[in-house]
């Protein structure tokens, strides 16, 4: 079975943790052992990951160096993909006792220049701030900001992914039984010019949307959207919350979930399952149990045990 596993930002940095190399290494080591179990169960594996805090930190470092010469988000995305991919690659190789080849690929993803997201920035990146501090930074750097829980963060455009030009390279690696880490942070956003050439664009693509597109273009058997929550719930956070064990794609599309958390995951899962694959949402440490149908929330063409 070919599995695309999208690991959330919590696998790299838990909310409230300092964005240090040591903290990220510790978290990735835990994640790598969970991912290794997918491989040890006999599956091929492609890994995607988030990069929100890391790309925000690099943007801050660039602004501190010279606010007039800030690197564009596509370049910062490529930097974070290399940094994070290196740590995941190394720790996964260690977890597998170096018995399998692992490769990290910087992955370009084409977006549409006319996407309305460019007029409505919504994607959170970087650390959280108190409102006053966020507003001060926004004025100085020309940012857009928005509230994230009881804090504030920078927001940037998040256009929908359209095409993965590097898909043929990923397929070549999979043909050689290589575990591939790609599409980090939703991939590096690029535009296709009229002559067919590519150029980077100031944006950050949603990781879950990009992971779903990747899984569909690869013809994957399963898409796992792995986070720190064990499943999707109805009436989440209330005394009446109920775990959703299984859904059809149509039922999944009909759910009204928060855009800042489970909404994008459920949309990506529903779109993938509509193509005939198995999509699962749940905790990283339960990845193999989700594949076996014993944990998480599954989106199938035909749902069973809808709630539990």
Residues 129 and 266 in one domain: no
Share of residues in the chain with pLDDT > 90 (%):
65
CA distances from 25 to 19, 51, 303 (A): 11, 14, 38
What pLDDT band is residue 146 in, cutting at 50, 70 and 90? very high
Residues 31 and 176 in one domain: yes
pLDDT digits (tens, 9 = 90+) for 174-209: 999 999 999 999 999 999 999 999 999 989 999 999
Instruction: Please count the other Cβ atoms lying within 10 Å of the Cβ belonging to residue 66.
Output: 8
Query: Can you give the pLDDT at residue 124?
Result: 82
- Asked whether residue 238 is domain-assigned, the answer is yes
Residues 204 and 59 in one domain: yes
- Asked whether residue 249 is domain-assigned, the answer is yes
Question: Of 63, 45, 48, which is closest to residue 6 (Cα–Cα)?
Answer: 48
CA distances from 159 to 109, 114, 135, 165 (A): 11, 9, 24, 16
Q: What are phi and psi of 158, to 5 degrees?
A: -130, 80
pLDDT at 304 over 60: no
Query: Can you give the pLDDT at residue 69?
Result: 57
CA distances from 42 to 38, 61, 68, 206, 294 (A): 7, 42, 51, 29, 18
Chain-wide mean pLDDT for the chain?
89
Residues 39 and 136 in one domain: no
Burial class (CB in 10 A: 0-12, 13-18, 19+), 206: buried
What pLDDT band is residue 153 in, cutting at 50, 70 and 90? confident
CA distance 288 to 296: 10
Record the pTM: 0.88
Residues 136 and 240 in one domain: no
Q: Domain containing 195: what range?
A: 2-109+160-299
Residues 146 and 231 in one domain: no
For the chain, the domain total comes to 2
Residues 98 and 75 in one domain: yes
| Per-residue tokens: 9 | 């930002």
pLDDT at 247 over 50: yes
- Asked whether residue 136 is domain-assigned, the answer is yes
Q: What CATH number has the domain bearing residue 294?
A: 3.40.1160.10
Residues 207 and 276 in one domain: yes
- 144 has which bridge partners? 155
Q: What are phi and psi of 8, to 5 degrees?
A: -75, 170
| Per-residue tokens: 75 | 């370049």
Question: Could you tell me the end-to-end alpha-carbon distance of the chain, in angstroms, rounded to an integer?
Answer: 27
Query: Can you give the pLDDT at residue 59?
Result: 67
Query: How would you write the chain as a 3-class SS string?
Result: CEEEEEECHHHCCCCCCCCCHHHHHHHHHHHHHHHHHHHHCCCEEEEEECCHHHHHHHHHHHHHHCHHHCCCHHHHHHHHHHHHHHHHHHHHHHHCCCCCCEEECCCEEECCCCCHHHHCCCEEEEEEECHHHHHHHHHHHCCEEEEECCEEEEEECCCCCCECCCHHHHHHHHHCCCEEECCHHHCEEEEECCCCCEEECCCCCCHHHHHHHHHHHHCCCEEEEEECCCCEEECCCCCCCEEECEECHHHHHHCCCCCCCHHHHHHHHHHHHHCCCEEEEEEHHHHHHHHCCCCCEEECCCCCCCEC
The catalytic residue positions are: 9-10, 123, 207, 265
Q: Using the 3D structure, point to which of 131, 156, 181 is the last residue of a domain.
A: 156
- Asked whether residue 305 is domain-assigned, the answer is no
Instruction: Tell me the Cα Rg of the chain.
Output: 19
Question: CA dihedral in degrees (140, 14, 187, 36; nearest 10)?
Answer: 160
């Amino acid at each position: 079975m070919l599995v695309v596993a999208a690991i959330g930002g919590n696998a790299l940095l838990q909310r409230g943790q300092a964005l240090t190399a040591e903290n990220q290494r510790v978290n990735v080591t835990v994640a790598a052992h969970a991912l290794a179990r997918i491989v040890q169960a006999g599956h091929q594996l492609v890994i995607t990951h988030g990069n929100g805090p890391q790309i925000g930190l690099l943007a801050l470092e660039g602004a501190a160096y010279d606010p007039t010469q800030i690197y564009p988000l596509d370049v910062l995305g490529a930097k974070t993909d290399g940094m994070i991919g290196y740590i995941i690659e190394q720790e996964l190789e260690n977890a597998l006792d170096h018995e399998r080849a692992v490769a990290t690929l910087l992955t370009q993803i084409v977006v549409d220049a006319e996407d309305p997201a460019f007029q409505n920035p919504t994607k959170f990146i970087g650390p959280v701030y108190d409102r006053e501090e966020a507003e001060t930074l926004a004025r100085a750097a020309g940012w857009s900001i928005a509230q994230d829980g009881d804090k504030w963060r920078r927001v940037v455009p998040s256009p929908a992914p359209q095409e993965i030009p590097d898909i043929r390279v990923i397929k070549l690696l999979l043909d050689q039984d290589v575990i591939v880490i790609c599409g980090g942070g939703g991939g590096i956003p690029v535009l296709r010019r009229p002559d067919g050439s590519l150029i980077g664009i100031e944006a950050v693509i949603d990781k879950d949307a990009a992971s779903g597109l990747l899984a569909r273009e690869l013809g994957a058997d399963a898409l796992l959207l792995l986070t720190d929550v064990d499943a999707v719930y109805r009436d989440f956070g209330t005394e009446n919350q109920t775990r959703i064990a299984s859904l059809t794609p149509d039922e999944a599309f009909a759910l009204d979930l928060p855009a800042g958390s489970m909404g994008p995951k459920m949309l990506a899962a529903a779109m993938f399952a509509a193509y005939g694959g198995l999509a699962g949402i749940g905790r990283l440490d339960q990845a193999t149990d989700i594949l076996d149908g014993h944990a998480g929330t599954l989106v199938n063409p035909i749902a069973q045990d809808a709630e539990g």
